[in-house]
Amino acid sequence: MRKEKSNRNRHVTVLFTMEEYSQLKDKFTASTCRGISDYIRKHLFNKPIVTTYRNRSLDDLMEETIMLTNELSAIGKNINQIAKKNNTAESYFEFKQELSILDIEKKMLFSKIEEIRNHTQKIAEQWLQL
């Protein structure tokens, strides 16, 4: 894409204190403007400035989601290993032992599913508050 020539050929010099400049830079950084001149121009001419906003509570929910996903993955791998052992079990005792381990994993899985259900409810409540 070709860049169009700008007809901007007038310069304005503005001096700021360190504190003023720091505030300006913070606001510019939080925006999606490409340059500080663009930010100032939009502000001066009352054009909309898109800012980025990060909801920390949603970050916490995402962290919890990732953790639950990893735990579910681990439980799934355990169940697959147990199924493989059951399919290759040579004795009834081995088979029964693996079934008891499978029962424990199943209980853990249902517990994690309930946690995910609660977690999803929290996300839905946060989403609806927006």
Neighbours of 39 (CB within 10 A): 20
pLDDT computed for residue 125 by the predictor: 75
pTM of the predicted model as reported, rounded to 2 decimal places: 0.44
How high is the mean pLDDT in each 10-residue block of the chain (130 residues)?
A: 70 92 89 87 86 65 80 84 79 79 85 84 70
Neighbours of 82 (CB within 10 A): 20
What tokens were used for 14?
A: 């503005």
pLDDT computed for residue 15 by the predictor: 93
